[in-house]
Amino acid sequence: MSYVIALFIHLLCAAFWVGGMATMHFAVRPSAVATLEPPLRLRMMAATLRRFFVGVDAAVTLLFVTGVTMILAAGGFRAVHWRIEAMMSIAIVMAAIYVYIRASVFRALRRAVDESAWPAAAARLNTVRQLVTVNLALGVVVFGVATMGRAG
């Protein structure tokens, strides 16, 4: 895979993941809260997250594959600028948070929704929201490092 193609795929995946988190956080969830009763809202959010996470699974995988591809093309970690190491470090933290959401919190959310345990489902969705807030902030930092870090 050429560096330019890897970079293109990398940027698309980053935009999908971070942009998707922003959309869910600032548009979808507030709209659902404003218009839907809790049982319907929780069902809708669980279904929406399930679909979104399929894309995030692919995006996170491709981000690491393309990131490592570009690092290797540049001569390895010893040859790259500090910002690449910073982006990779933050990406590892973001991926760990995502895996925790996907494998634990979201699974508990879906189980609670399936059982109509609305208070438990609401608590799990709130945990997802809090963790997405952290990941969204980290994603913005990565974009900042990627662009502003070029100057230093």
Q: What is the pLDDT of residues 59-91, one digit of tens each?
A: 999 999 999 999 999 999 899 989 999 999 999
* pLDDT value of residue 26: 97
Handedness of CA 39, 31, 16, 127 (dihedral sign): negative
CB 92 within 8 A of CB 25: no
Instruction: For the chain, count helices (H), then strands (E).
Output: 6, 0
Mention every residue, 6+ apart, whose C-beta is less than 8 A from residue 120.
108, 112
Give me the percent of the chain exceeding a pLDDT of 70: 97
* pLDDT value of residue 152: 54
Please give the Cα distance from 30 to 11 (Å, whole number).
27
Mean pLDDT value across residues 18-23: 98
Give me the percent of the chain exceeding a pLDDT of 90: 93
* pLDDT value of residue 1: 81
Q: Is the pLDDT of residue 151 over 70?
A: no
